[in-house]
Amino acid sequence: MKTTAAVVETSGSSFTLQEIDIESPRQDEVLVKVVASGICHTDSYAAEGNYPIPFPAIFGHEGAGIVEKVGSNVHKVVPGDHVLLTFGYCGHCHNCQESHQAYCYDSRDLNVIGTRKDKTSAYSREGEHVSGHFFGHSSFASHSITKEANVIKVDPSLPLPLLAPLGCGIQTGAGAILNTLGLGSGDEVAIIGSGSVGLAAIMAAKLAGCTKIIAADILDSRLELAKKLGATHCINSKEQDLGEELLKLSDVGLDAVLDLTCSQAVMTACLNALKKRGTLLLGGATEAGNTANFDINTLLTGKSVRGVVRGDSTPDIFLPELINHYQAGRLPLEELVSYYPFEEINQAIDDAHSGKCVKAVLIMDETYGS
């Protein structure tokens, strides 16, 4: 069948809407009519050629839509179901069995090579291969082929465009706090970077009952929003010395810091602000070869440094939990989201990069609005 997709022809080029061919779902696959898709920094990062994905390619990995067809071995959803789309995982390896699907042993082959695991693609143009299957679904398209593991069924009364970013950005930030760090009542945390991931982390820290939530960013507008969403203290790290301000606010030290910049200077400042046995958690896409240099004596006080992807989420459990928080008014996603027609994808990406919007969401089907 024919569908419309935002195709990137070569590394670093713009997204262009084109008609492409998409296969029918295989036995273990699902065809989804994409209603909306969030835009994540990782999409731009991949479009610049930073993943082993041949061009031309289709990106996007925060999709939401309606199931149109399912393969004979699919039992989780049926045509007509409303779904969110998220990352792929095998479900069988040790980490998946231990409820750490974000660290699936097959994660690379299922998410960032541009094909199915068997090296085929469901997408083509005039008979020529087009890479897709980004994070298992490539949601910058009017239709997506994905697998059963990638779909999360949701109540049809819920606003799909608003919930689309749960598939990556929101669950990454919220999961970093709730799943990876496991913060709770009385804990003190700093979040460095107040984009959609950082703001989701701030909301989660408030949910968890953290008593001190420090937000740092270089944009006052982001810091104002951070305070509205739960930050107790804000630092403009462009105008203030981050290390000095964290030490002023940390007393005996912070329980944890989530650093979404992965900058050497920032990491050093964050490590110094931790209490003994505190944790520095690193997240966000960073260029290959970015290294860290720590004084080992800093770590000998019991401090730890680790990374996180996808919020260490079990999507079938965590996304419904986040939806429950949204419905109860504890996760005000509407404060983060700005909507754009599909054809304005390049403008949406520019606005996200400039800070004009926090989380851009593309509308593929205006029937469902925003």
pLDDT tens figures, 297-331: 889 999 999 999 999 999 999 999 999 999 999 99
List the domain boundaries for the chain: 2-167+336-368, 170-309
pLDDT at 369 over 60: no
Name the more confident of 368 and 185.
185
* Integer Cα distance of 184 and 200 in angstroms: 16
pLDDT number for residue 192: 97
Question: What is the CATH architecture of 2-167+336-368?
Answer: Alpha-Beta Complex (3.90)
Give the E-state strand segments of the chain in sequence order.
Answer: 2-8, 15-22, 29-38, 57-58, 63-70, 82-85, 123-125, 128-129, 143-147, 151-154, 188-192, 212-217, 233-236, 254-259, 274-282, 304-307, 337-341, 359-363
pLDDT tens digits, one per residue of 126-141: 999 999 999 999 999 9
- Full-model pTM: 0.95
Helix locations, the chain, DSSP H: 41-47, 94-97, 107-111, 160-163, 169-175, 196-208, 220-229, 242-250, 264-273, 296-299, 315-327, 345-354
What angle in degrees, to the nearest 10, is found between the helix axes of 196-208 and 220-229?
30
Reference 63, options 23, 33, 98; nearest CA is 33
Mean pLDDT on 4-15: 97
* Integer Cα distance of 16 and 30 in angstroms: 25
Mean pLDDT on 22-44: 97
- For residue 56, say if its preceding peptide bond is cis, omega within 30 degrees of 0: yes
Residue keyed to tokens 């929003």: 225
pLDDT at 252 over 70: yes
CA dihedral of 368, 26, 21, 144, whole degrees rounded to 10 = 30
Mean pLDDT on 205-233: 97
Helix locations, 134-262, DSSP H: 160-163, 169-175, 196-208, 220-229, 242-250
Q: How far is CA 32 from each of CA 23, 25, 71, rounded to the nearest angstrom?
A: 12, 10, 12
pLDDT number for residue 284: 79
pLDDT at 149 over 90: yes
pLDDT number for residue 292: 81
pLDDT number for residue 147: 97
pLDDT number for residue 337: 97
Beta carbons within 10 angstroms of residue 69's beta carbon:
17
* Integer Cα distance of 121 and 144 in angstroms: 12
CA dihedral of 350, 356, 361, 362, whole degrees rounded to 10 = -40
Residue keyed to tokens 């490590």: 271
Residue keyed to tokens 């926090």: 358
What pLDDT band is residue 364 in, cutting at 50, 70 and 90? very high
Mean pLDDT on 244-250: 93
pLDDT at 29 over 60: yes
Query: How far does CA 6 lie from the centroid of its chain?
Result: 19
Residue keyed to tokens 């507008």: 221
Q: How far is CA 355 from each of CA 13, 195, 220, rounded to the nearest angstrom?
A: 21, 8, 11
What pLDDT band is residue 293 in, cutting at 50, 70 and 90? confident
pLDDT number for residue 36: 98
pLDDT number for residue 289: 75
- Three-state DSSP at 243 gives helix
Mean pLDDT on 356-369: 88
* Integer Cα distance of 188 and 65 in angstroms: 38
Q: What percent of the chain has pLDDT over 90?
A: 92
Considering the chain, what is the average pLDDT of its residues? 95
Mean pLDDT on 121-125: 97
Mean pLDDT on 272-294: 87
Give the CATH number of domain 170-309: 3.40.50.720
pLDDT tens digits, one per residue of 195-210: 999 999 999 999 999 9
Mean pLDDT on 42-56: 94
pLDDT number for residue 295: 85
Residue keyed to tokens 């989804």: 32
